[in-house]
Amino acid sequence: MTPAAELLMAALPPLTFSTHQVVISAVLQPTYDVGGDAFDYAVDGPRARVVVLDAMGRGLTAGLTSAATMAAIRAARRAAGDLPAMARAADRALTDQFADARFVTGLLAELNVEQGVVQYLNAGHPLPILFRDGRAIKTLTGGRRTPLGVRHQDGEVGAEQFHPGDRLLIYTDGVTEAYDRDGARFGTERLTDLAESCMADRLPPPETLRRLAYTVIEHQGGTPSDDATLMLLEWSAEAAARTQP
């Protein structure tokens, strides 16, 4: 692995975390020269917070950009910052630490595990998909702001009421923008259909993501051109019992 990949991989949390109220699972399929994807999460009392990032650029630059962004977001979270404060901390880190312009797209979300309310900010990131009863019912289109690293006026935070068993699929563009040899995009429809079929088979979140990531790689003929990251956030009283494949 490259130094950038080592730095980033060492900073990532375990791939799956579960309590009796929530399951968070992620996969990050890196390219050989690092596309700059990263993910993070923390469960603190009633709040489960997740972050998926994709730094623009490649190699050491993208890896360092992503690592600095993740560190800034973690520090803001530990200082009891809300989602806009976490995004502002990332903006500041990117503009203060680097002389050149560095941008990171990101999805930051907070689930209240008692109430099922999800708040989220979308900094130029692909739209997350909400699954209910195993069907994709909508994409979350609120909470839009500029990519992290671009000066920004605080706007509205997106909000969504989860039902028990709801799952939110968050992913980077390395998933949907994966092309096969004939130039066909992987796309959101393929992603959604496959996720629904895994859910119909009642597969646990880690196995669902493993199959999705494998299918993305297979689509590209085994040579990915960008990092591909997928995360599932599931609000469920019994999902924790299903995190073991």
Q: Which residues bind Mn ion (CB under 5 A)?
A: 54, 172-174, 226
Taking the complex as a whole, how short is the minimal distance between the CB of residue 148 and Mn ion, in angstroms? 14
Half-sphere exposure in the Cβ direction for 150 (13 Å, CA): 11
CB of 105 or CB of 236, closer to Mn ion: 105
Taking the complex as a whole, how short is the minimal distance between the CB of residue 109 and Mn ion, in angstroms? 19
CB of 174 or CB of 224, closer to Mn ion: 174
CB of 118 or CB of 212, closer to Mn ion: 212
Concatenated DSSP letters of 48-104: EEEEEEEESS-HHHHHHHHHHHHHHHHHHHHTT--HHHHHHHHHHHHHHH-SS---E
Q: Answer for the pair 142, 202: CB distance below 8 angstroms, yes or no.
A: no
Taking the complex as a whole, how short is the minimal distance between the CB of residue 79 and Mn ion, in angstroms? 29
CB of 173 or CB of 196, closer to Mn ion: 173
Taking the complex as a whole, how short is the minimal distance between the CB of residue 173 and Mn ion, in angstroms? 5
CB of 84 or CB of 106, closer to Mn ion: 106
Concatenated DSSP letters of 140-184: ---SEEPPBTS-----PPEEEEPPTT-EEEEE-HHHHT-B-TT--
Q: Answer for the pair 154, 160: CB distance below 8 angstroms, yes or no.
A: no
Q: Answer for the pair 71, 113: CB distance below 8 angstroms, yes or no.
A: no
Taking the complex as a whole, how short is the minimal distance between the CB of residue 101 and Mn ion, in angstroms? 17
Question: How far is residue 143's CA from residue 20's CA, in Å, rounded to a whole number?
Answer: 28
